[in-house]
Amino acid sequence: MPTPRRSQTERSRSTQTALITAARTLFAEQGYAAVPADEIVRAAGVTRGALYHHFGDKQGLFRAVIEQIETELTDDLKAVLRSTADPWSGALGVLSRFLDLCLRPEVVRIALTDAVSVLGWQEWRELENRYGLGLITEILEAAAADGLLIEAPIPELAQLVLSACAEAALMIAHAEDPEAAKEKALAALVALLSGLVSNSNR
């Protein structure tokens, strides 16, 4: 029995997946600047024209890769949050898991090292806001609803917490001993967030 022909949509999706998978592996191993577009399309088993058709250029493909990574990280952290009994435990669990994820080589290379230089500061900030900010806001709003949080404007507070987490991630990425840096960063973030707990809950 002949194999049914795939639809154009299926072929396009397969090509995009192949390019993203190949680029993600190469970017993680060598860094964005060291990987020519030709190497990516060879690894993906597609033409250079397919890269341009689906992503515009190598930078557009990098955007797709970083979006995939950010989505996976956010889903992972949301699962941690859903498994905890209260907002404070959730916040501590998410922090610890986030810093663990920052030890992954592909996260260090792609999300923490190359992303700012490839995308530019403004686009990188917008990306972080789109993924991390919503989760942090959710945690702070839940803590406030339970009476655990000091009185403070949530949107501004969430932005500052996000900035602190991003800085901790960068510290880990550039540390000589990432594991030790992770433990110190976690201790510092916990100390920082402890100051947001209302006096009645201390």
Name all domains of the chain by residue range, CATH numbers in brackets: 63-201 (1.10.357.10)
The whole-number mean pLDDT for each consecutive block of 10 residues of the chain, a chain of 202 residues, reads 66 94 98 97 96 96 97 95 88 93 93 93 89 91 90 93 92 92 95 84 54
Cα dist from 75 to 89, 176, 199, whole Å: 18, 29, 32
Q: What is the pLDDT of residue 8?
A: 78
Place of tokens 């995009």: 16
Within 13 A of 69's CA, how many CA atoms are on the CB side? 28
Quote the tokens at residue 61. 């493909």
Give tens-digit pLDDT for 45-69.
999 999 999 999 999 999 999 999 9
Q: What is the mean pLDDT of the chain?
A: 91
Q: Which residues pair with 149 in a beta bridge?
A: 197
Q: What is the pLDDT of residue 5?
A: 62
Asked if 26 and 44 touch (Cβ cutoff 8 Å), the reply is: no
Q: Which residues pair with 197 in a beta bridge?
A: 149
Asked if 141 and 154 touch (Cβ cutoff 8 Å), the reply is: yes
Give tens-digit pLDDT for 14-25.
999 999 999 999
Asked if 129 and 116 touch (Cβ cutoff 8 Å), the reply is: no
